[in-house]
Amino acid sequence: MRKRILFAIVLGGAILFSFFVVRHRVFLNNFLHNLLRKSYSNTIQLNSTAPVLAVFSFQPESYNHTINSFLHYTVQLNDIDDWDIKGNEISQISDSIPLLITVETWGRNMFSTRVNNPLEEVVNGKFDFLIEKLCTQLIGPRPNVYFRFDPEVEVPISRFPWQQYTSAYGDAYRHFAMLCKTYAPQVKQVWGPAGYPGAMEFYPGDDFVDAASVTIKSDSEMPLKVYPTDYSVAYDLFRRLHRLRFLSKPIFVLGSKNCASDSINNQLVASISQLINNERHIIYSTENFNRTRSKVVSNQQRKIEIGLYDPQSLLNNEPPVTVEHLFADFGNLDDGTFQNSFNDVVKRGHDIVVTFEPFRNPNGETDLKVLQHVTEGKYNREISKFYSIIMSTNRRVYLRYAHEMEIPITRYPWQSQNPIDYIKSFRYFMTFVDSLPPTIKRVWGPAGDRGSLEWWPGNDVVDFISIAIYGLPDKNITDPEKQESFSAIFNRKFGRMRFVDKPIFITEFGVKGPEDYQTRWLEAAAKVIRQNPQVIGVNYFNMSDTPKAWGEIKPPDWSITEKSLHSFLKALNESL
């Protein structure tokens, strides 16, 4: 009986498929032809939808201005065996007119474009012949030429094939740039992100970049809903430029079909230039261009702080614990709750991580403009009281203010705000006391998510960087085995801090699940921590997360047992 049913299902499926093929044979023939045909041709085309509209620089005394005469072409490299591009149109353009040539690496056909990794193929030399011809036959000795290689790589979408293989981008860009320096050394190399959050994570290095570019409302990012797409053109451009403030290179501004070209005018350029100049001494300081790294202490020299956020004091009294985590806000500061908790930690002989969350005023009301109000002095009385508490002890205090500001949500009113407002508020809070005692260490606390460095407040007001590492990458995941490893999260978030040079305190981390799974996860985490001497402290979040943050979903419980804690500590010591 079961065999008959199975036979009937297979037969029915075959009949339906045959019917589909008959009715749609033209579509299928065209699809298979495009999928498997021998090769697309290499092409060159004037790119009128993405004109070069302006140029900016964060260098002092730079001349930011609109651009009228700058032609933009796109070259698609598809057939790696045959250079079939004619340069007649290029040769007829006056050498005085600068050319931006966006070079895109695709594939022979639809199948290879979507299956093969075009960036690895660049690194492996498969495009070398085309790159040589691009330089020698299309460009030759011509001046005023800029190459822009495989743009918008940071946008998490698959509009271009290289956006799916971002780990190979840096090597591919550098390979392309070095070949170009050999065959056409006069050509400038343009690193071409869209300016989407997290762009600097894909920066290929100062030695290989002569200029950069951003694109206003690019087609790549318009379908995405994680970050706002309805910014005004002025604010949109400011944010894209701000994300690239660690570059000393010129930054070209490209338009798109989603942005009217005349919206980038002299008035807009002048207003953004004035904003940059107003914040030149800190936010847009040339210190951002510094790439030197401080010496890292060895494992033998370093002492790692072991801490907990453990409001129920389930593990606080364990001998290896050296630091406890407290959260403060204007409410628990005003009613004395914070002071009592602080005093209890001091009595236990521990150092303290204090995260100050400025989201409710003393009346318990959420202040949606809290960053500006702190900077304006509205909360001076409360901040003064707070400092009097944390300066009343000789214990070390790690002071973290307005954390996880970069996450594109509004769980806290300081999240997803103008980075200048955040930076000014952070600096005001951290410099509220003229001379801090050496026992108070200032902590800048992003989650470590995409685009964290937009909110970097400056080297002079940060002693440590804090990141948060939770195994649960998605609220809808209920199977603990699907959590990410500590190593995967740490490496991703640590890489985002490459342009700032501070030791790291992991002030929040946690994993949910059965005890044996938590123990294995923590033991693996210990090895990663010891292998990275930049990490000077870890602080486990030993409780369930806040229910309100998870809506209808049960919040994860990060709590661990004494056994799991000691397994973690043993693995940490064995990693020496």
Paired sense of beta strands 305-309 and 145-149, if any: unpaired
Please tell me the predicted confidence (pLDDT) of residue 15. 56
Please tell me the predicted confidence (pLDDT) of residue 33. 44
CATH top-level class of 305-574: alpha beta
Q: What is the pLDDT of residues 418-444, one digit of tens each?
A: 999 999 999 999 999 999 999 999 999
Q: What is the pLDDT of residues 488-535, one digit of tens each?
A: 999 999 999 999 999 999 999 999 999 999 999 999 999 999 999 999
Q: How many CB atoms lie within 10 A of CB 532?
A: 15
Please tell me the predicted confidence (pLDDT) of residue 3. 52
Q: How many CB atoms lie within 10 A of CB 193?
A: 25
Pairwise CA distance, residues 408 & 139, whole Å: 43
Q: How far is CA 371 from the centre of its chain?
A: 22
Please tell me the predicted confidence (pLDDT) of residue 549. 67
The interaxial angle of helices 486-495 and 515-531, nearest 10 deg, is 40
Q: Is the pLDDT of residue 546 over 90?
A: no
Q: What is the pLDDT of residues 28-50, one digit of tens each?
A: 444 444 444 446 899 999 999 99
Paired sense of beta strands 71-77 and 65-66, if any: unpaired
| CA-based nearest residue to 284, from 153, 420, 186 | 420
**DSSP SS3 for 348:** coil
pTM of the model: 0.90
Pairwise CA distance, residues 491 & 30, whole Å: 44
φ, ψ (nearest 5 deg) of residue 176: -60, -45
Please tell me the predicted confidence (pLDDT) of residue 28. 46
Cβ(539)–Cβ(506) under 8 Å?
Answer: yes
- Mean model confidence pLDDT for the chain: 91
What residues does each domain of the chain span? 35-289, 305-574
Pairwise CA distance, residues 532 & 137, whole Å: 48
Sheet architecture: strand order including 211-215: 43-46, 71-77, 99-105, 145-149, 188-191, 211-215, 251-254, 52-56, 65-66
Kindly give, in sequence order, each residue whose CB lies less than 8 Å from that of residue 325, ignoring residues fewer than 6 positions away: 307, 308, 309, 310, 352, 353, 354, 355, 507, 508, 539, 541
Please tell me the predicted confidence (pLDDT) of residue 12. 58
Domain 35-289 CATH assignment equals 3.20.20: yes
Kindly give, in sequence order, each residue whose CB lies less than 8 Å from that of residue 245, ignoring residues fewer than 6 positions away: 58, 283, 284, 288
Pairwise CA distance, residues 176 & 163, whole Å: 17
What residue has token string 């190593």?
Answer: 487
Q: How many CB atoms lie within 10 A of CB 566?
A: 14
Kindly give, in sequence order, each residue whose CB lies less than 8 Å from that of residue 435, ignoring residues fewer than 6 positions away: none
Q: How far is CA 378 from the centre of its chain?
A: 32
The string of DSSP letters for 503-528 reads -EEEEEEE--S-HHHHHHHHHHHHHH
Cβ(214)–Cβ(241) under 8 Å?
Answer: yes
How many residues belong to the chain? Answer: 576
Give strand pairing partners of 76. 43, 104
Q: What is the pLDDT of residues 273-295, one digit of tens each?
A: 999 999 999 999 999 999 988 87
Kindly give, in sequence order, each residue whose CB lies less than 8 Å from that of residue 496, ignoring residues fewer than 6 positions away: 198, 201, 448, 449, 450, 452, 453
The interaxial angle of helices 2-23 and 25-36, nearest 10 deg, is 80
Cβ(248)–Cβ(59) under 8 Å?
Answer: yes
